[in-house]
Structures are given as structure tokens and as C-alpha cells.
Structure 1
Amino acid sequence: MKGFRRAPSMPDQWNIFFATRGTFRPESAGSASVVLGNSIDPEELKSMYDDLRNVVELPREVRRVVSIVPSLTESIAAVDAGKIVGATDWCTHPADLDVTRVRGTKNPDLDVIRALAPDVVVANAEENRAVDLDALRAAGIAVWVTAPTTVPESLDSLGRLLSAIAGGEPDWLREARAVWSSPYDGMRRRAVIPIWRRPWMALGRDTFAGDLLARIGVDNVLRESGERYPRFDPDVLPEYDIVVLPDEPYAFSPDDGPEAFGKPAKCVSGRHLTWYGPSLVEARALLSGQLA
């Protein structure tokens, strides 16, 4: 999810936002080699792989980045905010980021992005639409796609991306690796993790947030689902101990969500549950406390 936030009254076409996520396939990513639209001497380019094993051609020094993923915007800004020239309307961290806004993750303004002449656009395989990423590539813009589904994958993904853009791993990323390096050895609980209502939808198989929760002793009862974000009936669920209600993408709160379940419900920070970036440094302790 990585920072996508909508109010409960958002248009119906967004109500099934998560139903289509996780269906992005590497073969749909377009050409494996990306050539920059700007005129750059080939000897000044470096070839690197993104998470989908696409070769991305970047200038030796990346100066202009457009981010269409809120958590990646925060990650890059925490290293060098001056490199970011464009970001989505939903890129809320850091709060003082003053850059051109390019609409949302699902409807980026491609004309504005092209006009910004970025060295690279950073995207995510389930956050952003393949058709938009292909259009940017067709315009000669390098696109770097992330696709982690576990905490370790997210840390490695960030390491590759930030090394490509900034030349190395920041201290906060090394700290996050240390925070998540020790295994959990306490009591385990079974949980339902809704991410939307009207219709009810929850975390299913192979999700970053589900893996993060498992690493603090909270096991997703829908992890064997055939879908990554299945719909469900609150009255028809496997046996569970707790309901985990993040405040995004649906803004669950103590007054909106817990009343639908017959088991204890805990409201948690969606940014710490679903974003991968600097928030991972404090996410383990914060979520463990919120779910205590």
C-alpha cells in the first residue's frame, strides 16, 4: 500500500483499488532496457537492475527524480530531498516537501512528468499501473520499479534503489536492518487485517504488511487466500484472536471498524504497517506497542 490514503467517501471506482493489486507481472513491464529521453553520452550512463530485473539506464549522477510512490518519496527525501522534482499528491512525508505534484499513484499526470525531464521515475509494481509505466518508458524516461513482499526484500530493494540514486545506503537503512534482524520468540496471535470496508477487504497472501506483522508475532489468518487482497464477510472468518485496523488506505478508527467484529480490535499506524522506508526504524517497536 505504501502510503495510499483515501477518505471513506472516496468515489466507488476506488473502492476496489486493492482488488487489482498484486497482478503486475514482470513480462508486462515493457522493454527491459530503458533509454533516457535526455541526450546523454552513453559513456555517462550506468546500467542497473530494478526489482523486476529490468535494466535501467541511469546517468552517473542522478539529479532529477520523480517519485510516484509515497514511501519511496520519503525514503529518497531522507537521503537527499533536493533530488526530487516531482511527487504524487499522496506523498505526505516529509511534510515540507516542496515539489511539483503529479496527481495520484493510479492516475499520474504523464505530461507533467515528461515536462519535468526526470533522470528516473521511481514506481512500485502494485502501487502503479503498468500502462502508465510503459507510457513513460515509451517517452524515453527511465523507470525503476520496486516489488518487495517481505521486510528483508524491502530493505534490499531500498538498498539497491538508494545506492543507484544517491551512491550508497543511508544510516537509517542500516539501522532498520538491525531493528529487523532479530527473530520474534514470544506468544503468537492470529489476526484479521482489514484494509477496506464497503466492501470489506483484507490482507491476503504474499503481502509486505502481512510479513511485517508475522515478524512481531501476529499471523494473518487469510495468508493462504488465493488473492492478495480478498473480500471477506466479518461473520464468516477462520478462527482469530485479534483484528488489526490500519488508518490507511481506509481510515479505520476506534469509532469506525471495531464494532463489526466479535473479537478485540486494535487501531494502528498505516504508515508504519504498509510503508517501507525510514518508518521501518520505529515500526517494530511502535506496532508491537499498539498491538500489545
Structure 2
Amino acid sequence: MRVVSLVPSLTEAVAVSAPGVLVGATDWCTHPDGLDVTRIGGTKNPGLDRITALAPDLVVANEEENRAADLDALRAAGVEVLLTEVRDVPAAFRELARVLDACGGRTRPRWLDEAEDAWSSPPGPPRRVTAVVPVWRRPWMVLGRDTFAGDVLARLGVDHLYAGHADRYPRVPLDELRAAAPDVVVLPDEPYRFTAGDGPEAFDPLPCALVSGRHLTWYGPSLAEAPRVLSGALRAALR
């Protein structure tokens, strides 16, 4: 089996669960550490010639991460594409099982069972809280409706204030975000890399939780530790 992954979280899942199967991945696929496969470009601009040259049996992709035109071009070249759709935590588990089965996984990986256990009764703040969740700056963009990260936070007791917005990632002026007066501002380190010196100052004096984007937005082995890691960051910000 020869697999190319166009999704960082799926790259990690396949690499640790079916060693030797993965032959290509994007430049943004940073996990697991030391991943030694052919790099085929970005998630939005993959090198289609590089992918087909690898003669993959399967390309795994995601409807949000990857462009339909690129996937159509791969199919036209005779490459089989498995397209995932993940908008909440249960869907992540279903799609991960489907991907690993398609990649020839012989047994269900232990981390997947551990992840489902971790999300069966996740920890969270002592009370439900409200949040805004910027994902980009210049312009400011936040989580809106129907997102995986939004569902992750909701299961941890965090209701983000733009969950009912018409757009999935709306542009919202900073003044409006501040005026919304959330209990906490959640700042992930991807896709925009918010840091202690780049992000919290815009919302002062609102409390800010700097969180790992891998734990907030990835669906893979990180799901097993995400409830603990994210809850710890939220609790620290709300003290």
C-alpha cells in the first residue's frame, strides 16, 4: 500500500498506525517527529505531478483543508482519493477509522480507543464560559458556525460567541470582538501563530488562553490528550 496524505492530522494518524504505508505528505505535516517521506507542497497548492510520480494507491484528503480542483485533477489522472469531512468530534472518530481501514490497517490502534475514552467525559472549566476564538489576524477572523474546533470547545464547556454566524470563519472587527465581552479569548498557534507577545495585547484586559492548534483543530493521535491539555490552558487563563 502506498498512501499520500494532504492533511497534517491524517498524516500523523496514518504514520503512527500503519508504519511504512505513507510515501508522501505536505510541507505542513509536522508530526510525527522525524517523518521521512516525500514532500509534495502545501495543503492548498500541492504539486500534482509530484503526487502522481509517487504512484500512490490512495490519496487521503479533507473537504475543508484541500481544494476540490486539485482532488478532481488527481482523480482524472487515475488516482484514488478518499475525501473526509469532519465537523465534530464523533465525525473525527468515524473518519479516522475509515481512513485507517482504507490504508490497510490490520488492527484498531490503541490511541484511537484512548481518544474515545478521553472524550467520553472530558474535563473543563468549573462552569460553562463564553469565548471568542480568533484564527487569523490582519484581518481578524474567528471561529463561526459548524467547525470541528467549535465542537471541541463546546464539549469542554466553552461556548464561542459566533457559533451562530452565517459564515464558518467570519471576519469581525477587533472592536466588535472586544465589545462581545467573552469570559475568555482562545488564541491557537495555528493557522495564525498567536503567541504571548502577539495577540493577547489586543484584548487586554480580557483573559486569554494560548492553546495548541494541534490539540484544538487536529483529529488524530492528539485527540487522546487534547481534553487534558486544552482544559489546563483554559483553567489557567480563567484563574
Q: TM-score, normalised by structure 2?
A: 0.93
**Counterpart selection for 2:186 from 244, 268, 272:** 244
d(CA) in 2 for partners of 1:95 and 1:168?
A: 23
Q: Partners in 2 of 1:280 and 1:78 — Cα distance? A: 14
In the TM superposition, residue 156 of structure 1 has moved relative to its aligned partner by 1.1
1:209 equivalent to 2:149? Answer: yes
| Separation (CA, whole Å) in 2 of partners of 1:128 and 1:81 | 24
Instruction: Please state whether the residue corresponding to 1:272 is helix, strand or coil.
Output: helix
Matches of 1:118 and 1:277, distance apart in 2? 21
Distance in 2, Cα, partners of 1:239 & 1:256: 20
Q: Which has the higher helix share?
A: 2
Counterpart residue number, 2:71: 133
SS in 2 for 1:236: helix
Question: Percent identical across equivalent pairs?
Answer: 62
Equivalent pair of 1:159/1:168 in contact (CA under 8 Å) = no
8 Å contact from structure 1 (residues 246, 273) kept in 2: yes
Secondary structure of 1:117's aligned partner: coil
- Aligned residue number for residue 67 of structure 1: 5
Unpaired runs of 5+ in structure 2? none
Q: Helix, strand or coil: the match of 2:93?
A: helix
Secondary structure of the structure 2 residue equivalent to 1:180: helix
Deviations 1:154-208 (A, max 9, x none): 0111011112211342110011011101266841000000000000001100000
Asked if the contact 1:81/1:97 (under 8 Å) is kept, the reply is no
Q: Give the aligned partner of residue 112 of structure 1.
A: 50
* TM-score between both structures, scaled by the size of structure 1: 0.77
Alignment of 1:94-105 (within 5 A): 94-105=32-43
**2:224 pairs with 1:281:** yes
1-structure distance, mates of 2:64, 2:176 = 28
Cα distance between partner residues in 1 of 2:181 and 2:24: 45
Q: Which amino acid aligns with 1:257?
A: G
How far residue 250 of structure 1 moved from its aligned partner, in angstroms, is 0.7
Report matched runs for 1:2-41 at 5 Å.
none
1:171 corresponds to which residue?
Answer: 110
Match of 1:122 in 2: 60
State the partner residue of 2:203.
261
**Does the CA-based 8 Å contact 1:196-1:250 persist in structure 2?**
yes
How many residues end up aligned between the 2 structures? 230
User: SS of 1:160's equivalent?
Assistant: helix
Query: How far apart, in 2, do the equivalents of 1:178 and 1:248 lie?
Result: 26
